[in-house]
Amino acid sequence: MALPLLRTRGRQRMDWTDWLSYAYLAAGLLTMFAPIVWLVMSSLKTESAISQFPPSFLPFSQKTVQVEGFEQPLPLYLVTDDKGVQRAMGQVRRIGIMSTMVNPEQPQETLQVNIKDRKPVNTLQFAWTNYTDLFGKFQFGRFLWNSVFITVAATLLTLLVNSMAAFALSKYRFTGQKWVFLLIIGTLMIPPTIVLVPLFLVINSAGLLNSLWGVILPAIATPTGVFLLRQYMLTIPDELLEAARMDNASEWRIYWRIVLPLSAPALAVLAIFSVMWRWNDFLLPLIVLSRSESFTLQLALNSFQGELHTQWHYLLAMTVITLMPITLVFAFLQKYITTGIAGAGVK
């Protein structure tokens, strides 16, 4: 008897719907994670290995061999000579389409080989320099600090401002309340790209250009945050507030000491979202911050995607670095996120 697709199952044996479900999940795992894994693996390749086609999964790079009588290590190739014997030889130089190869065991013996008849010998090589170079190349610590400062400050302010607004919209009745709510939600309709130039003018007149606050302040009134918190606060029983008012508590005290702690799960969800949004913010910092000491990590990432050329190896390494904090936050708070959204959404 096949149980409905929707029921949670209690049987020990699995039937075809179970197999199908697991197959779907496996496919989902592959689709979601495989690109990330490929990204991380590629970020450990040298620049030349990255442009190899067909690409290899593991980072391979050409082996070099130190041959007696030659100063520099020579790149190693597999050469098939006219007798059909394959030998590994080092390349001394290449002129035109002929390369001069030398046998590492017999350094006196050289051979002229057409470049078509040789194949590079590759070895597993992790290009950690892609990462370490970045620390030297840029004021990496500075960019990290800027990103962290913006994220933390903006998140704290977002939590405060949005919860205050959600409190007002859920626990009070005042004229114009409905319009205020619609107004706040209506800002969802404005894609940020579109108001970029006027926003720049406003930030400029406020004197916040090149300041981290110019990136923080415009971002704290998120409509999603207000919506989420309001939904949750609607479930807090009004009797609680009434009781507090009867005890002569001020409204601020009610907000701060009752409503806010009780909304902790929804606040946590908003905090996680805010961290994610501010950490990944790109367009606004791009127009507000033009001095290199104010750059965030995402802006620095952009600098590798130059107009005139793309340094893929640094670009990929930088991408992985900006991915890591979010991944860590995710790994630790994963359960909280997924149940939190579910909880906040249901009510």
Partner 1 sequence: MNTAFPQTKTLLALALAAGIPAMSMATDIRVMCYQDGIECEVTSAIARRFEAQNPDVKVIVDTVPYKSIVEQLPVQLAAGQGPDIARVTDLGGLSKYYQDMTPYLKDAKYLEANFGSTLPWLRPSAADKGIYGFMSQLTMTGPYVNRTLFEQAKVPMPGAKATWEEWIEATRKVGKATQTQAALAWDRSGHRFAGPAISYGAKIFDAKGDLTIDDGYKTAVTKFVGWHKDGAMLKEVWGGSGGSTYADSIGEFKNARVAMVLSGSWQINRLQKDIGNAFDWVAVPNPCGPAACTGIPGGAAWVSLKTSKAPAQVAMFLEFMAREDNYAEFISKTENIPAHAGLAKKGVAYPTATPAARAALGVFSGGVASLAPAAYQFQGYKYNRAMMLPTVARTTQAIVGEISVDEALSKIAGDMADAVKQAQK
Partner 2 sequence: MPQGIPPGVPCSCLHSCKYDDLSASLPAKPQLQTLIPPMRLLAIFFNLFEPLFKFAQRVLGHSRIGWMFVGPNLLVIAVFTFLPIVINVAYALTGGVNLMPAQRPYAGMENFSILLECRDYLDLQTCRKDVFWRALFNTVRFSAIQVVLMVLFSLVTALVLNRKIIGRGFWRGVFFYPVLLSPVVVALIWKWLLQTQGVFNAVLVSAGTGPVEWLTDAQWAFFWTIFVSIWAHMGFYTLILLAGLQAIPKDMYEAAELDAASPWRVLYRITLPLLVPNLIVVLVLALIRAVQIFDEVFVLTGGGPGSATTFIVQFIYQTGFAEQIHLYGLAAAASLLLAAGLVILTLLQLRLTRAEQSGQRAR
Interaction residues for partner 2, span 248-287 (CB under 8 A): 249-258, 261-262, 264, 268, 276, 279-280, 282-283
> Residue 293 binds which entry of partner 2, partner 1, none, with Cβ cut-offs from 5 to 8 Å by kind?
partner 1
Question: Hey, is 221 helix, strand or coil?
Answer: coil
- Burial of 262 by CB count in 10 Å (0-12 exposed, 13-18 middle, 19+ buried)? middle
Q: Write down the least CB distance from residue 265 to partner 1, Å.
A: 27
Q: Which of 128, 100, 129 is nearest to 113 (CA)?
A: 100
Q: Which residues bind partner 1 (CB under 8 A)?
A: 47, 51, 53, 93-94, 96-97, 115-116, 149, 153, 197, 200-201, 204, 209-213, 216, 286-287, 290-294, 302-303, 305-310
Q: Which CB atom, from 108 or from 193, has the smaller least distance to partner 2? A: 193
Q: Does 309 bind partner 2 (CB under 8 A)?
A: no
Identity of the residue numbered 316:
L
Residues of this chain, 185-224, that bind partner 2 according to CB under 8 A: 186-191, 193-199, 201-203, 206, 217-218, 220-221
Nearer to partner 1, 53 or 174 (CB): 53
Is residue 108 within a helix (H) or strand (E), and if so which, with residue range?
Answer: none
The correct pick among 183, 290, 292, 293 for binding partner 2 (CB under 8 A) is 183
Distance from C-alpha of 189 to C-alpha of 206, rounded to nearest angstrom: 25
CB 149 to partner 1: min, Å? 6
Characterize 283-301 residue by residue with b for buried, 16 or more Cβ atoms within 10 angstroms of its Cβ, and e for exposed.
ebbbbbbeeeebbbbbbbb
Run of H or E including 170: helix 140-171
Provide the minimum distance between the beta carbon of 61 and partner 2 in the complex, in angstroms, as a whole number: 17
Structure token pair of residue 344 = 């906040």
Residue 210 binding target from partner 2, partner 1, none, CB below 5 to 8 Å by type: partner 1
139 binds, among partner 1, partner 2, none (CB under 5 to 8 A by kind): none
Residue 25 binding partner per list partner 1, partner 2, none, with a CB distance cut-off of 5 to 8 Å that depends on partner kind: partner 2
User: Residue 38 binds what, of partner 2, partner 1, none (CB under 5 to 8 Å, by partner type)?
Assistant: partner 2
Exposure b/e, 109-122, CB count within 10 A at least 16 = b: eeeebeeeebeebb
How far apart are CB 136 and partner 1 at their closest, in Å? Answer: 12
DSSP sequence for 263-317: THHHHHHHHHHHHHHHHH--HHHHHH--SGGG--HHHHHHHTB-SS-B-HHHHHH
Q: Report the nearest approach of partner 2 to the CB of residue 171 (Å).
A: 8
Shorter beta-carbon distance to partner 2: residue 55 or 107: 55
> Rounded to an integer, what distance in angstroms lies between the CA atom of residue 221 and that of residue 160?
10
